[in-house]
């Protein structure tokens, strides 16, 4: 070979070598034939070229979502570094060529890898990352986090980068649960810029914290001012304490070593709720404890397998189905009876959703979310059982409802379904109606009409609404919700500069509306009480009697006409006979 040409060739090869760079990262990927998060090695070689992007050497085993993530990663990285994509060739090797890779969850990993390849800068050697990537560099949510953190733990990753999730959301709870369960810190990032310092070892990770603490300032809240003599306050106080103990027992089952902060904060919050109840805000305290219970349930069952989760949900379903004995309803206990029936319907709809979620899940995230979904059902059914016990102890003369309640419930149900579609309270109302629990259906529809209301919230208007509701509420549920609206309005006043201010005003508004709606339902129910000593004719029989009555009316009308005609004919004949005799005499 010509020495000059050989020198040129060597120079070109040296230049290519100088601008070539190979980098790699371990990241969770989705394999279509495996339903668990698995860490896979992703390698990228960046060389001078014409903008070609090759993935697994053109293998068809890479899914469309992953291919799209690769292109988005390259586009973003080159724009971020202000270099021309057309001057490089990108060769990605994702896992083994016989692995069927799909899904966008490696988007952030691919972006960081491309930045590393373009800058010839090695990534930190001991971390992993999951998250989708968008064209503007924002990082999106992914599934299977619990399993991916387990996989990261298997190679002793120092930390894992994950997409940002708001505190106390289901995603954040799974993050925190995974972090504590596998002793691996998770770092939330909202975009690529936030991820870069961690990915290149320039910033050390910090552990996610668990914070659900809310100071309701119970010492600054005035005692409840509304008294309802006919509301059986003793029974409702019993129900409230029952709810507190239910949540307390669930908290006690949490692993304190692994989730000590969770257990401590939940217990501390529960003490606040007891203080609120001691001031007369029974339902408010019980409701806040009820909302806390699913979190405790989730952490208590964090390591449940799919089969274990199925057994737990089936056990709850069996328990709820066993509550098929409803105590006799009386004018004195009907709110406890109907309240129990209503919550039982909510539980049945919720359990159905939990089962569907579990059956559709392919990762531990889905299993955990199905348990979190089922947790309220257990509490509702337990509360139903307690309400039935309280109802039986109250007693009274047995009553039933007139058929007008059925008609009203079915009409409202049709209207609400048209307005809101398949939502919990509407579906629960339909469930109740299908079981002839029309009073419970009306209760659920009151909730649907209130909590799906999107009217604008104004503090002054809410203040007037709450004041009117407190003055007019009658009965157990209307009174307790009126007091709850008063509680939230007080919280708004104590937290005017807090980010929770608008939430408190909104809660005050909605609970005042609910108190008013339930008051209207109670008035309608009371107007249609029928003592059991009075024979209540089924609607089908009533319809038949109405038809017979109509037919008899028609027959009677016809008979009257016939008799009238006969009478007219008789008068005419009589007139003719009398006239005929008169003519004979004159002759």
Torsion of CA 235, 238, 242, 245, to 10 degrees: 170
pLDDT at 231 (0 to 100):
87
Q: Describe the chain by its helix, strand, coil percentages, rounded to 5.
A: 65, 10, 25
The first and second tokens of residue 94, run together, are: 């994702």
* Residues of the chain with confidence (pLDDT) below 70: 1-19, 29-37, 57-61, 96-102, 420-422, 453-456, 533-561, 570-587
**In angstroms, rounded to a whole number, what is the distance separating the alpha carbons of residues 583 and 38?**
124
Q: What are the residue ranges of CATH 3.30.230.10 in the chain?
A: 20-199
Q: Which residue has the tokens 């085993």?
A: 61
**What is the topology classification, in CATH, of domain 20-199?**
Ribosomal Protein S5; domain 2 (3.30.230)
Per-residue pLDDT tens over the stretch 317-358: 999 999 988 899 999 999 999 999 999 999 999 999 999 999
Helices H / strands E in the chain, number of each = 19, 12
pLDDT at 456 (0 to 100):
67
pLDDT at 143 (0 to 100):
87
pLDDT at 349 (0 to 100):
97
In this prediction the pTM is 0.83
pLDDT at 453 (0 to 100):
66
**In angstroms, rounded to a whole number, what is the distance separating the alpha carbons of residues 260 and 258?**
6
């Amino acid at each position: 070979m010509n020495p000059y040409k050989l020198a040129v060739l060597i120079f070109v090869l040296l230049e290519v070598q100088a601008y070539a760079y190979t980098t790699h990262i371990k990241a969770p990927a989705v394999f279509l034939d495996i339903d668990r998060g698995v860490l896979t090695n992703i390698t990228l070689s960046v060389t001078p070229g014409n903008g070609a992007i090759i993935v697994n050497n053109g293998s068809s085993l890479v899914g469309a979502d992953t291919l799209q993530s690769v292109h988005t990663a390259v586009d973003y990285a080159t724009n971020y570094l202000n270099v021309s994509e057309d001057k490089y060739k990108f060769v990605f090797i994702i896992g083994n060529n016989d692995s069927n890779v799909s899904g966008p969850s490696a988007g952030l990993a691919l972006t960081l890898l491309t930045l590393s390849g373009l800058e010839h800068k090695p990534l930190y050697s001991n971390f992993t990352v999951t998250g989708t990537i968008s064209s503007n560099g924002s990082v999106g949510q992914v599934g299977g986090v619990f399993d991916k953190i387990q996989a990261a733990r298997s190679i002793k990753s120092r930390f894992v980068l994950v997409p940002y999730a708001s505190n106390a959301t289901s995603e954040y709870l799974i993050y925190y649960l995974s972090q504590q369960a596998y002793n691996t810190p998770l770092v939330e990032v909202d975009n690529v810029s936030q991820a870069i310092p961690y990915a290149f070892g320039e910033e050390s990770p910090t552990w996610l914290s668990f914070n659900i603490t809310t100071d309701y300032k119970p010492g600054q809240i005035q005692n409840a001012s509304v008294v309802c003599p006919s509301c059986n306050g003793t029974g409702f106080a019993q129900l409230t304490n029952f709810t507190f103990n239910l949540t307390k027992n669930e908290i006690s089952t949490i692993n304190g070593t692994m989730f000590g902060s969770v257990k401590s904060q939940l217990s501390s919050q529960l003490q606040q709720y007891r203080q609120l109840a001691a001031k007369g805000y029974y339902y408010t305290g019980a409701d806040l404890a009820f909302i806390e219970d699913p979190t405790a349930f989730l952490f208590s069952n964090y390591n449940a397998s799919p089969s274990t989760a199925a057994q737990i949900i089936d056990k709850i379903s069996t328990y709820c189905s066993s509550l098929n004995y409803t105590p006799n309803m009386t004018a004195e206990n009907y709110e406890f009876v109907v309240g129990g029936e209503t919550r039982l319907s909510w539980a049945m709809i919720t359990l159905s959703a939990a089962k569907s979620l579990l059956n559709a899940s392919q990762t531990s995230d889905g299993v955990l979310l199905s348990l979190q979904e089922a947790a309220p059902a257990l509490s509702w059914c337990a509360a139903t059982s307690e309400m039935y016990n309280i109802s039986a102890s109250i007693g009274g003369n047995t009553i039933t409802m007139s058929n007008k309640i059925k008609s009203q419930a079915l009409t409202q149900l049709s209207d609400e379904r048209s307005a809101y579609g398949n939502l919990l309270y509407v579906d629960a109302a339909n469930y109740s109606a299908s079981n002839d629990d029309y009073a419970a259906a009306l209760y659920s529809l009151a909730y649907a009409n209130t909590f799906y209301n999107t009217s604008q919230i104004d503090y002054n208007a809410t203040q007037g609404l709450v004041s009117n509701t407190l003055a007019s509420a009658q009965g157990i549920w209307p009174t307790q919700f009126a007091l709850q609206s008063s509680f939230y309005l007080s919280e708004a006043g104590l937290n005017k500069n807090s980010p929770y201010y608008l939430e408190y005003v909104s809660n005050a508004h909605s609970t005042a509306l609910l108190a008013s709606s339930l008051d209207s339902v109670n008035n309608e129910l009371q107007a249609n009480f029928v003592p059991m000593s009075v024979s209540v004719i089924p609607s089908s029989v009533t319809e038949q009697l109405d038809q017979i009555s109509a037919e008899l009316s028609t027959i009677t009308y016809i008979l009257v006409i016939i008799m009238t005609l006969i009478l007219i004919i008789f008068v005419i004949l009589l007139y003719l006979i009398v006239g005929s005799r008169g003519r004979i005499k004159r002759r």
